[in-house]
Amino acid sequence: MSKAKDHPKQSTKTVSENVASTYDGTASAVAAGSDSTEESASEPALEKQLEDARAKAAENHDRYLRSVADLENFRRRSVREREELRQFATASLMEDLLPILDNLGLGIASARQQTDSNAIADGVAMVLEQFKGVLNRAGLVEIHPESGGEFDPHKHESMAHQPSDDVPPEFILNVIRTGYSLNGRLLRAASVVLSSGPTESPPDSE
């Protein structure tokens, strides 16, 4: 009798164990599915964050390159402006000295016409050459075209026309006033007289 009573207890225990095992398996499967779902849901978010980070890094790199380029342009512009300031800082002084050069030249020309004044003229000429040398070292260059030379409107200023049998029309006949440039920049154009060509012969009278 006791053996017959123990059998139902064992059967009930087995069923309970099977139910528990089934529940555990189902719970594990649900948990695994939940983890997989969370991982699947988090992957797009991580990819989006990665793309945003890459875009931000590219933007920062582009800003850095532009900043470097701007800095280099500023440095070059500053160097160029300083060089121009150094070259042309004395331009006003040079322009003020030009009449002195003119007067010295006229004085020499006048003194040479006096037979007793050659020594004075030679001395003044020496001073003039020294003065020109100083100005030349500062960047001042004379513009004194030769007779018969081609007229350059960028360097010469036409003051008049005169007939000439030797110089072609519109070519330089003579120079009235020397021009000057400072480090390649024109300060004053050379004043010149241009040839108008050969003198026209008067018509024959009948």
Q: For residue range 4-62, what is the model confidence (pLDDT) as tens digits?
A: 444 444 455 554 555 455 555 555 554 555 555 555 557 778 888 888 889 889 999 99
pLDDT at 9: 47
Q: Which CATH superfamily groups domain 139-199?
A: Head domain of nucleotide exchange factor GrpE (2.30.22.10)
Checking 198-204 for CB contacts under 8 A at 24+ apart, the result is: 198/163, 198/164, 198/165, 199/163, 199/165, 200/163
Per run of 10 residues, the mean pLDDT along the chain (length 206 residues) is 46 52 53 54 79 89 90 90 82 83 82 75 83 87 94 95 93 95 93 91 59
With a CB cutoff of 8 Å and minimum separation 6, the contacts of 173 are: 147, 162, 164, 167, 192, 193, 194, 195
CA distances from 203 to 90, 163, 200, 206 (A): 57, 17, 9, 9
Ordered by start, the domain boundaries in the chain are 1-89, 97-133, 139-199
Distance from C-alpha of 127 to C-alpha of 116, rounded to nearest angstrom = 19
pLDDT at 95: 84
pLDDT at 188: 95
